Amino acid sequence: MNAHELEYCDFGNYEVIKNILSKAFEIKDFTPVINAYDAFKKDFFKTPFEELERKTIKRKYFKPITSNEGLIKNFFDEKFIIGFDVPVLIKNKKEGLKGCAFIVSEDPLRDGLKDAEVILSTPFGTHLPKHRDNKNKGKLYWDFAIWLLEQGYSSVYFTDIKKLWIKEVRKNKNETSKLLFPQDLLEHFRACLEKELNDFEAQIIIAFGKDARESIQKINPPVKVIDFIHPTFTASSHWRKDYKLPSASAENKLNYMKGKFLRNANENPQTTTQITHYS
């Protein structure tokens, strides 16, 4: 399934995204986010060799809602790198029968990047052809999403449970220290996810990582949830040990994800969502 067989971030009306994000952010001007979405949609259909411009939004337009004054101070301090991934919806142009599959991950990682503004992107860089084709970048996640569409889901929705990523660049070093978020902001992030699940009528949820799994448990949605150790390269030793894989190659991870999904997707969810680890 190639890019031209899909619809990418065709929400029709971006107001639905603004209303979701307003659960966790004071949004003074949503236009830069809309412009970023329009640019990402164009980027999606470009070749892997074309140069793409970084998308940003001024910090003053997109402030997190929290009573923690220290976090707000750091948010406006340019020593801190800030990343934000806009949610992504991909649709099969051929009508599917199973509704929307959600992929929920942890946060919008921005290691190695520096900018005075909030750096905008998409989960796993799905708008970037070079990321979708690179096994060391986003190919595993993209291939799994395409496979879900091939299983009959009409759409796949990518999102992060933590809508921000903030790190301090230490003086004279190319090192960073990741900030932890206060409880009130984490609750706002969960409110965003709950609204996403409702507004896009999630039929099944895939959780990547502990943070995503635990946040979904607190929401307790009435649909099937299948969780995985995050497929990131840094968790490869856990994949080998916990899932008893001969190696944690991208191919082995993808095959394991497909197998676990097929074993569990058709089980009826219980009244209280049960997220079980399967080896």
Model pTM score: 0.90
Choice among 21-30, 175-184, 244-253 with the minimum mean pLDDT: 175-184
- Averaged pLDDT, 56-70: 94
Domain ranges of the chain: 3-264
% of the chain exceeding 90 in pLDDT = 62
Q: Tell me: the pLDDT tens digits for 156-209?
A: 999 999 999 898 876 655 555 678 899 999 999 999 999 999 999 999 999 999
- Averaged pLDDT, 62-78: 95
pLDDT recorded at residue 20: 97
User: Is the pLDDT at 245 greater than 80, yes or no?
Assistant: yes
What is the arrangement of strands in the sheet containing 224-228, beginning at the earlier edge strand? 6-8, 88-92, 155-160, 100-105, 202-208, 224-228
Q: Tell me: the pLDDT tens digits for 85-122?
A: 999 999 987 766 789 999 999 887 766 567 788 988 89
Q: Are 154 and 91 in contact (CB under 8 A)?
A: yes
Length of the chain: 279
Residue 241 tokens, joined: 């040990």
User: Is the pLDDT at 2 greater than 70, yes or no?
Assistant: yes
User: Is the pLDDT at 74 greater than 50, yes or no?
Assistant: yes
Q: Tell me: the pLDDT tens digits for 40-51?
A: 999 998 877 776
CATH level 2 (architecture), domain 3-264: 3-Layer(aba) Sandwich (3.40)
Q: Tell me: the pLDDT tens digits for 134-151?
A: 877 789 999 999 999 999
% of the chain exceeding 70 in pLDDT = 87
pLDDT recorded at residue 252: 95
Confidence of residue 278 (pLDDT cuts 50, 70, 90): very low
